[in-house]
Structure 1
Amino acid sequence: MLCDSCGAEVEEDFTFCPHCGHKIGELERGRVAIFPTREQLFPHWVWLLGFALLIGCILMSVLGVGMAGVYGGLKERAVLARQQAEEHYNRGLAHLEEGDYNLAEAEFREALRLAPNYWEAADKLREVRAQATAMATPSPSPTVPLEVDSQSAAIYRQAQELYSRQNWIETALTLEQLRDLDPYYERENVTEMLFSSYYNMALDLVDKDRLEEALRSFDKALEVKPGDPEALVQRELVSTYLTGLGYWEADWVRAIESFLAIYRIDPEYKDVKQRLYEAYLNHGDLYASEEAWCLAEERYDQAAALDSNDDIIAKRDDAAYRCQIAVAPTPTIIAAVTPTATIAAAAAVTATVTPTVSIAAVGKIAFAAYDAGEGVYTIYMV
């Protein structure tokens, strides 16, 4: 065995180590097994941390359920508001048919209050105001111009407030009402505000993918300021985008033409880059299904110019390889005997004679045959 003190080899019979004098087995008898306490294994901060994590998980769960409830409530509220707006809109239509323009206007305004983007209600409200203005008969009283001016000023201030809040629909409706009442009141400012309202309204509708409504709003803006370059460009972009959507999956050539025209004007317009890429890809797939590999290669190459991912590169390379095979020329050998001259016979001959004629042409053989019916010789060269 080994000495506990110096580690030297000691025989079993020795009580003391002959090397250092240490008593054999003394350390073993003095050793005490020490086990860690509960506090050492799990300090207080570990318990506190675990408890805090548990409370945090519970709070997050409760918060998640609460947020889901709030979102559901807001969504349900929006649906309910839309339904109420439609009810007021239908009532307004009924009053409009009865010729009660005041009640119709009130119903349409309430519909817009509940659903600010209710475009149909905005159109009807504009129509009601125009009809009410056309039917109004001015009073001969000398105080009317002052009253009209005061009313115009109030409407103008209301329009300015709505414009500052970027409530484009209400601003446009209010300014239209002002122009119907007094076309010359703050004419330049009213024109600029009205154009901006329709223009910004159209841009908002484009962002919301309500392109047909956006097109109508751009038309309204151009009615206020005909020929405005920015409005013309934006209207053309919307119109061309709608055209491309109309040809989608029906005519890839026309769809590509539409989205390519937009991409050349504004590459960042909506999702036109992705649309153009998908149109090239789908058209290439169509050509590939018809084994028109060269045309497919061209479309895949155009798609790769927009997004050079691995899939489109593989399709393009495969189509290019198949295109080369398809257009490779096949050698053909054509053997033919061509008559080169006709010699008229000077005298009638009753038998066919095939004399050999020597012609000074290197690498060719000439022979003649007599046609008894025609009375001529025909010379052949091979």
Structure 2
Amino acid sequence: MQNDPSWETHVGAMHDAVRARRNTGVTAFLLAALLICVLGAVAMPSGLGVLVGYQELQAQNHESAIIHFNRGLSYLNEKYPELARNEFEIALKYDETFEPAREKLDELQIPNGSSTPGALQQDRIAAALYDEARGLVNQKEWSDAITRLEQVRTLNPGYRTADVNDLLYQAYINSGKAAVAAGQIEIARERFESALAIRNTDAEIKRQRDLAVLYLEGQQAFGYNWQTAVTKLSALFQQDPNYADVKKRLYDAHIQYGDKACKEGAWALAQREYDGALALVNDPQLAQKRAQAQTICKRAPTPTPADTPVIVGTPAISGTLAPGGTPTLIALPMAESYTWVTSTARDKPCTGAGTVSGAVRDALGRALANVLVGYYADDIPLTTARTNATGQYQLTLGKDPRVLHVVLLGADGKTPLTDTLVHYPGGLVAGCHVVIEWQRVQ
């Protein structure tokens, strides 16, 4: 049978099939490897950005866990196991994977039949801790003072409650300010939150808390959502340009957002972001990148007939804006043109709903009544309001941050005349009340 020609033919066919399957398998493997490489190259930058922001926060939390763990060890040496237990529990709240704190907690489990300290002993310990805390406050050792006062609260909540709260409030505020100066913004936010939990009527402390929240939200968005990072850090910089390292972070965010826009072919956005960075730091190399983006933006202009007047200033928007639609910006003959100034109303609280408000005036500064002002976003339909007799208008915004298009509509109430972008930080963040003053230039 082995000499049968048909058998040899069959064996040869089997070998060919095996080789074909091998070739197909190799090809499939190479294609899969190529696909993985491409996807990895696309996902890697954003993934690294998320990782960097997450690691920064984790490092701060781990540092706080170590601080509380060491305090617990000190209390064990001083024969205060109850206070030590409290410190180890706080350490695990900051970093639940911190095994040394968990091991010490296990060692401190109260055996069956043992008793907790009596009332007289609790009062004695609380008095000693309180006196020590007062001395630390006088020495401006805010963190240590907070530790002692929180231990008084834990050990004996009824001991000199008003006095303990007054000292704690003072220590929380000053410790928060010191944490901002040291760049420990997460700790600062916690300190201001703790102060407000005692006394929530201080507008300046609320402002400090809101600034810390803006910084942390910008930091969390750093590396994977440049638009949000720029929005948060810009709102913070407008309110306090000297806050921590916000100037450097905002500068970096503008550049990274601009570079991303260049890669995506959004040259106008890139130019705007480079302008934002150059307003902070005058860098010749960045100025060159900005000039390149501007040059590309000016290419391929729409031909303008000789008898058509060219509008100088803000371009008008062609067509009728349908709710939720995105208009096209082109120069229209004889259209009205406006300039505007954007700011924020810092005297209004941000409790959930922001606003866009302001006034519309003619070229001589006179109020324009019955002008339709509106805003829209990719996921928000056009919302409008008319100016009153004094040219004033106001539009209510939601709680979530986003980039909004704010427009002025023509006399027909449908045709937009001009458009500006607003980086809305959200209704719970300082800077939520946006003010846009419009003035007609033609």
User: TM-score, normalization: structure 1?
Assistant: 0.47
The structure whose residues are more often helix, as a share, is 1
User: TM-score, normalization: structure 2?
Assistant: 0.42
Higher RCO (CA 8 Å, separation ≥ 6 residues): 2
